[in-house]
């Protein structure tokens, strides 16, 4: 099955936006979990360091997500370069609304 360049571009842009949104959502949820764990430890009145190992693992997971975000930003930048090279982008990033409109036109 073949796909037009503009349809492929619209799909890639939408999926990249979805991946960036999911990454941000994961960071938010992990931060909320981290806060809830600290609050629970305080409110339940357990030892000050109960669950410290779990907090450290969650912190490491957050650092890894942040690092993944850096990688995703590099992917984003390179896809913009490729879009310009193949002539499907004459500007920088389209808005999410533009992505949805472009995809519906390409379908």
Q: What confidence score (pLDDT) does residue 94 get?
A: 56
Mean pLDDT over all residues of the chain?
87
Residue 2 token pair: 């073949």
Residues in the chain predicted with pLDDT less than 70, given as ranges, are 90-107
Hunting for tokens 């879009």 — which residue is that?
A: 83
Q: What confidence score (pLDDT) does residue 52 get?
A: 96
Distance of CA 78 to the CA centre of its chain: 16
Q: What confidence score (pLDDT) does residue 103 get?
A: 53
* Local structure of residue 51 (DSSP, 8 states): T
Cα dist. 26→18, 23, 50, 57, 90 in Å?
A: 12, 5, 25, 15, 32
Confidence (pTM): 0.76
CB-CB contact of 106 with 4 (8 Å)? yes
Q: What confidence score (pLDDT) does residue 76 get?
A: 94
């Amino acid at each position: 099955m073949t796909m037009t360049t503009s349809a492929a571009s619209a799909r890639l842009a939408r999926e990249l936006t979805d991946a960036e949104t999911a990454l941000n959502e994961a960071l938010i949820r992990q931060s909320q979990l981290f806060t809830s764990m600290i609050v629970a430890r305080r409110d339940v009145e357990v030892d000050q360091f109960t669950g410290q190992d779990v907090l450290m693992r969650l912190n490491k997971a957050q650092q890894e997500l942040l690092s993944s975000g850096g990688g995703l930003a590099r992917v984003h930048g390179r896809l913009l370069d490729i879009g310009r090279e193949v002539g499907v982008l004459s500007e920088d990033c389209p808005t999410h609304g533009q992505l949805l409109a472009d995809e519906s036109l390409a379908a």
